[in-house]
């Protein structure tokens, strides 16, 4: 593989509706797209999932831009690239900055699959031509609004409902959801809103048959999660705590969780995501693919990784129309009866729409080998 140039684009797109979690609200989403071009004019695409504010993790659109421009892209020009799985190793001297690494590594994986003439999901070792998907619902104004939104998405066939919880918006709201929807697959994501002092409050949620309780405690913790999991029947799922296959190994050995939410951006890219998947599968730990409110570019990568066999639980890869008036890809991602058909076209399998990308681009910069 020979990469001729990399184009970074800073975009802003307004979501259809604000998305609120325990740490903030996303509405005008700012994000970075990475386009990797080869000598034959093919383009591979990746998306950085870092947000404008360092609230989910320490990265932002600004840190990603600087890390790519000054530290990561220069590492690409120094050697011959035989396979995209080599990129993660080249980036290891650079600490953390996983979302920056994932964005460019994803673009290179897409370019590689296009050069091979195969869908990205096959290049990753996936074996499904359709995936089950759920939907993540942000914190709503009130209980009735949440119940109405859940009703809407159940009617659209989503296989699993994920709601956000935090102190003051938890037991009562889950009880109301369970009362109205006794049989749906239901989970709750706390985004680290609790501490071990809340252990009794969280243990009381066992009565509501949640599929899992996602990231109840601190974003960088595994010890307290292990203590909590011992008191809970409900499986703990880790999201923010897991950045690598080593983190996954430690969490499983400590008993910190029974399920892992794999987000390609959070773990530094598709290669590490595959490693985590393989390790979890060998230890009978189910995984699913989380979302970061991506455009269709990042959404396409999430669909591809979800085709691996260990992704046995519905993820957060909802339809484009759930987030955007107009997505950046053609066709858009659609969900029929809670399933997404996996495209068979080469690469990510969706065509980036340059007109729409240009319309939402605030600024861009091109980097060439040797310049």
Ligand X SMILES: O=C(O)CCC(=O)C1=CC=C[C@@H](O)[C@@H]1C(=O)O
List contacts with ligand X (CB under 6 A): 21, 56, 136, 189, 191, 239, 290-293, 316, 318
The tokens for 3 are 């990469």
Gyration radius of the chain over CA positions: 20
Any known ligand binding at 239? Answer: yes
CB of 279 to Mg ion, least distance (A): 20
Annotated binding residue at 62?
Answer: no
Rank residues 37 and 159 by Cβ distance to ligand X and give the closer one: 159
Q: Judged by CB, which is closer to Mg ion: 236, or 342?
A: 236
DSSP letters for 153-185:
HHHTT-S-EEEE-BTTBSHHHHHHHHHH-TTS-
Q: Which does 98 bind (CB under 5 to 8 A by kind): Mg ion, ligand X, none?
A: none
Minimum CB separation of residue 33 from ligand X in Å reads: 16
Q: How wide is the angle at C-alpha 319 spanned by C-alphas 313 and 323, nearest 5°? A: 120
Q: What number of CA atoms fall less than 13 Å from residue 116's CA on the CB side?
A: 20
End-to-end alpha-carbon separation of the chain, Å? 19
Active site residue 263: yes
Q: Are 339 and 131 in contact (CB under 8 A)?
A: yes
Give the residue with the Cβ less far from ligand X, 16 or 233.
16
Distance between CA atoms of residues 153 and 335, nearest Å: 11
Residues 6+ apart with CB under 8 A from 102: 46, 48, 49, 264, 265, 266, 267, 268, 269, 270
Please say which residue, 60 or 136, places its beta carbon nearer to ligand X: 136
Count the residues in the chain. Answer: 371
Contact 370, 73 (CB under 8 A): no
Per DSSP, the residues of 10-27 read EEEEEEEEEEEETTEEEE
Shortest reach from residue 5's CB to ligand X, in Å: 30
Among Mg ion, ligand X, none, what binds residue 136 when CB lies within 5 to 8 Å by partner kind?
Answer: ligand X
Tell me if 172 is assigned to a ligand binding site.
no
Query: Which CB sits closer to ligand X, 47 or 239?
Result: 239
Select from 240, 310, 323 the least CA-distant residue to 279: 310
User: Could you tell which of ligand X, Mg ion, none binds residue 293, using a CB distance below 5 to 8 A set by kind?
Assistant: ligand X
Q: CB of 110: closest distance to ligand X in angstroms?
A: 19
Binding-site residues for Mg(2+), please?
189, 214, 239
Catalytic annotation, residues: 164, 263
Q: What residue numbers does the annotated binding site cover? A: 189, 214, 239
């Amino acid at each position: 593989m020979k990469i001729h140039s990399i184009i970074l684009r800073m975009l802003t797109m307004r979501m259809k509706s604000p998305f609120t979690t325990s740490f903030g609200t996303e509405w005008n989403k700012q994000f970075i797209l990475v386009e990797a071009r080869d000598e034959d004019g093919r383009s591979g695409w990746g998306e950085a999932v870092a947000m404008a504010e360092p609230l989910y993790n320490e990265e932002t659109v600004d840190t990603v831009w600087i890390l790519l421009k000054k530290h990561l892209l220069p590492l690409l020009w120094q050697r011959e690239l035989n396979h995209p799985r080599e990129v993660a190793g080249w980036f290891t001297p650079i600490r953390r900055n996983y979302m920056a690494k994932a964005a460019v590594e994803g673009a290179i994986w897409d370019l590689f699959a296009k050069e091979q003439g195969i869908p990205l999901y096959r290049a990753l070792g996936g074996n499904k031509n359709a995936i089950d998907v759920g939907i993540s619902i942000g914190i709503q104004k009130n209980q009735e609004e949440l119940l109405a939104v859940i009703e809407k998405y159940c009617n659209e066939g989503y296989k699993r409902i994920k709601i956000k919880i935090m102190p003051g918006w938890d037991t009562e709201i889950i009880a109301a959801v369970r009362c109205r929807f006794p049989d749906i697959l239901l989970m709750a994501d706390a985004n680290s809103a609790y501490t071990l002092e809340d252990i009794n409050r969280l243990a009381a949620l066992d009565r509501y048959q949640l599929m899992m309780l996602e990231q109840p405690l601190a974003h960088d913790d595994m010890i307290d999660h292990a203590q909590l999991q011992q008191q809970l029947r409900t499986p703990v799922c880790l999201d923010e705590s897991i950045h690598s296959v080593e983190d996954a190994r430690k969490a499983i050995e400590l008993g910190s969780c029974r399920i892992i939410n794999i987000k390609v951006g959070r773990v530094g890219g598709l290669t590490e995501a595959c490693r985590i998947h393989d390790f979890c599968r060998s230890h009978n730990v189910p995984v699913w693919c989380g979302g970061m409110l991506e455009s269709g570019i990042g959404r396409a990568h999430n669909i591809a990784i979800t085709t691996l066999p260990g992704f046995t639980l519905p993820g957060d890869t909802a339809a484009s129309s759930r987030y955007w008036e107009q997505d950046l890809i053609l066709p858009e991602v659609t969900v029929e009866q809670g399933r997404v058909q996996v495209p068979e076209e080469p690469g990510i399998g969706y065509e980036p729409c340059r007109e729409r990308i240009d319309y939402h681009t605030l600024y861009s910069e091109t980097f060439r080998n040797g310049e």
